[in-house]
């Protein structure tokens, strides 16, 4: 059982049994693109640093620690609970990752995106991916939310490097619309109804774990980045390969180096996410309500 697909299938089956999803979902048959049956979690979410509160408010929650899922990578960063939660909102079943693993923790990018492979085998067709990010755009302020319209992969490699299993998608996936335009517009409309002013912009992913220098931030601004972080991009690449539609949301937790004279630390990131968590949870809930009412794109 050394193959990527087989390991992901075993992890998905463990989650099904642990959460009771096996009562509604068919056993894995190796056909990745077969239509999901009723009861399958068609929506997945990855919650970044300090943003796990949303999962705690789902109905009929069933929780599985990452440490109990076969071959699943384990989160080691403060603010990442390391739990998979399956629950409901507005009649939709959703699989939520409370925390992720990062390249800087020592994982290879193929390991970073392994949980997303598992989510796809559980039936996920739409991914909401979130993160904490530093603001580069001079008009951004800490505590604001940004819809990702595109990204810059500055990690130095791709999570698709190495042998490709066609059951997960093509060798050379297109990223022209890495972030689904219709989801961006629908999320913007949801925010408008809530009175939340959303920014939009390009997210740059760097390896970390150190924060960037002022010179690096000037470079990123020249390249067209509006925000910077150390995650998300590998997951979005893998999602697009597998045909999963993506909505990305950043919480701007701080101004990047050189934008202000203030030094950056992880405590500031956690403090800002705690301050805006109610707004963030309300937006995610509104987006799910919209998906329940109008259907997935």
Residue tagged active-site, from 80, 131, 178, 256: 80
Asked if 105 is an active-site residue, the reply is yes
Asked if 146 is an active-site residue, the reply is no
**69, 15 Cβ separation under 8 angstroms:** yes
Asked if 254 is an active-site residue, the reply is yes
**143, 273 Cβ separation under 8 angstroms:** no
Q: Enter the tokens of residue 234.
A: 């590998």
Residue tagged active-site, from 25, 131, 153, 231: 231
Residue tagged active-site, from 14, 21, 45, 49: 49
Residue tagged active-site, from 83, 239, 254, 257: 254
Residue tagged active-site, from 10, 108, 111, 266: 266
Give the DSSP per-residue string, 164-188: --GGG--SS---TTSS-HHHHHHHH
Residue tagged active-site, from 230, 256, 257, 286: 230
Residue tagged active-site, from 13, 105, 212, 235: 105
Residue tagged active-site, from 21, 102, 205, 256: 102
Asked if 231 is an active-site residue, the reply is yes
Residue tagged active-site, from 22, 104, 271, 292: 104
Question: Residue 278 burial by CB count (10 A; 0-12/13-18/19+): exposed, middle or buried?
Answer: exposed
Asked if 132 is an active-site residue, the reply is yes
CA dihedral 108, 113, 118, 124 (to 10 degrees): 180
What CA–CA distance (Å, rounded) separates 120 from 219?
Answer: 36
Residue tagged active-site, from 8, 132, 146, 239: 132
Give the DSSP per-residue string, 67-134: GGSTT-----STT---EEEEEEETTEEEEEEES---GGGT--HHHHTHHHHHHHHHT--EEEEEEEEE
Asked if 102 is an active-site residue, the reply is yes
Instruction: Give the SS3 label for residue 260.
Output: strand
Find, among 133, 258, 259, 156, the residue nearest to 203 by Cα. Answer: 133
Residues classed as catalytic: 49, 80, 102, 104-105, 132, 230-231, 254, 266
């Amino acid at each position: 059982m050394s193959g990527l697909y087989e390991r992901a299938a075993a992890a998905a089956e463990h989650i099904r049994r642990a959460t009771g999803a096996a009562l509604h979902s068919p056993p894995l048959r190796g056909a990745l693109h077969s239509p999901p049956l009723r009861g399958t979690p068609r929506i997945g979410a990855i919650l970044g640093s300090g943003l796990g509160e949303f999962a705690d408010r789902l109905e009929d929650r069933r929780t599985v620690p990452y440490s109990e899922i076969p071959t699943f990578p384990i989160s080691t960063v403060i603010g990442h609970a390391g739990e998979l939660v399956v629950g409901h909102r507005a009649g939709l079943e959703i699989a939520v990752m409370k925390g992720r693993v990062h390249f800087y923790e020592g994982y290879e990018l193929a390991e970073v995106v392994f949980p997303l492979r598992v989510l796809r085998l559980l039936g996920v067709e739409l991914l909401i991916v979130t993160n904490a990010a530093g603001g580069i755009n001079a008009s951004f302020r800490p505590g604001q939310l940004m819809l990702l319209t595109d990204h810059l992969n500055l990690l130095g490699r791709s999570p698709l490097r190495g042998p490709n299993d066609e059951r997960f998608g093509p060798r050379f996936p297109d990223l022209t619309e890495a972030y689904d335009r219709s989801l961006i517009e629908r999320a913007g409309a949801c925010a408008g109804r809530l009175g939340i002013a959303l920014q939009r912009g390009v997210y740059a992913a760097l390896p970390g774990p150190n924060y960037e220098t002022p010179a690096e931030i000037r470079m990123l601004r020249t390249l067209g980045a509006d925000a910077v972080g150390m995650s998300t991009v590998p997951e979005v690449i893998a999602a697009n390969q597998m045909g999963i539609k993506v909505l990305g949301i950043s919480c701007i937790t701080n101004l990047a180096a050189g934008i202000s004279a203030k030094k950056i630390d992880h405590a500031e990131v956690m403090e800002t996410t705690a301050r805006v968590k109610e707004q963030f949870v309300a937006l995610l809930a509104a987006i799910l309500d919209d998906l329940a009412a109008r259907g997935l794109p």
